[in-house]
Amino acid sequence: MDRDDDGKLVECRELSKVYRQGGVDVAALNGVDLLVGRGEFLALAGPSGSGKTTLLNLIGALDRPTSGQVWVDGRDLGAMSRGELAGLRLRRIGFVFQAYNLIPVLSARENVEFTLELQGVPAVERHRRAAEILDEVGLAELHRRRPHELSGGQQQRVAVARALVAKPALVLADEPTANLDSATGSALLEMMRRMNEERRVTFVFSTHDPMVMHFARRLVHLKDGRVAGDEVRE
């Protein structure tokens, strides 16, 4: 069943995920409870194997839990069909991946427009919104360049622009600074925090980067598939 909007954007209850590896069951998550409010800037932190990327994938409806429930934007993901989940991802969730995941043959502007095209937004409106968001992330002058003509930091800015252009309620970022130097990573995080403040978009990161943890306003520590700490910063 769906839930009324009471300020929560994400709710995870008793969330577990077990993978079968080499004939053995491996628990990536084990009974995780997590609430994420609208407008948060939150990092899921922990070492490799702690479960942070698995949790991010379950929240983003990219995978299904072995047990437990996830609600996003008031909707029970477990009760939704594949088509409904695809629609939720398309319209309510933006994704930023460690490897950028840009389409090589498309320009920066065309990559940003791609989500809007899938949504059926008319071409004139797509062009306007893509130009606006590329200007906000400081890439207006480079909108015709393809990914191989951009630096890693510029490609990640395009990925952030693509995630935000459809005006999602939630942006999920999986190790967004992993392939960037410290100065570029810091500039990217500053930009995303500004977007969070100005647009009130909720950001949830998975990371083991101390710099991302420093920028986060809330830090949820994962260890061995469980929540080991939950720290709110002001």
Bridge partners, residue 205, by sequence: 43, 173
| 195-231 core/surface letters (b: 16 or more CB in 10 A; e: else) | bbeeeebbbbbbbbbeebbebbbbbbbbeebbbeeee
d(CA 167, CA 30): 32
Q: What is the pLDDT of residue 6?
A: 65
What token pair was written down for 64?
């299904």
pLDDT in tens, the chain (234 residues): 455 556 899 999 999 999 888 888 889 999 999 999 999 999 999 888 899 999 999 999 999 999 999 999 999 999 999 999 999 999 999 999 877 889 999 999 999 999 999 999 999 999 999 999 999 888 889 999 999 999 988 998 899 899 989 889 999 999 888 888 888 889 889 988 988 998 889 999 999 899 999 999 999 999 999 999 999 976
| pLDDT for the residue numbered 162 | 92
Say which DSSP state 100 is in: -
Q: What is the model's pLDDT at position 62?
A: 92
Sheet holding 226-232, edge to edge: 93-96, 170-174, 202-207, 41-45, 218-223, 226-232
Q: What is the largest CA-CA distance in the chain?
A: 53
Sequence spans of domains, the chain: 39-61+81-232
What element of type H or E holds 57?
Answer: helix 52-59
CB 216 within 8 A of CB 39: no
What is the C-alpha separation between 111 and 28, in angstroms, rounded?
33
Q: What is the predicted pLDDT for the residue at 213?
A: 92
d(CA 142, CA 102): 15
CATH topology of domain 39-61+81-232: Rossmann fold (3.40.50)
Q: How confident is the model at residue 2, as a pLDDT?
A: 55
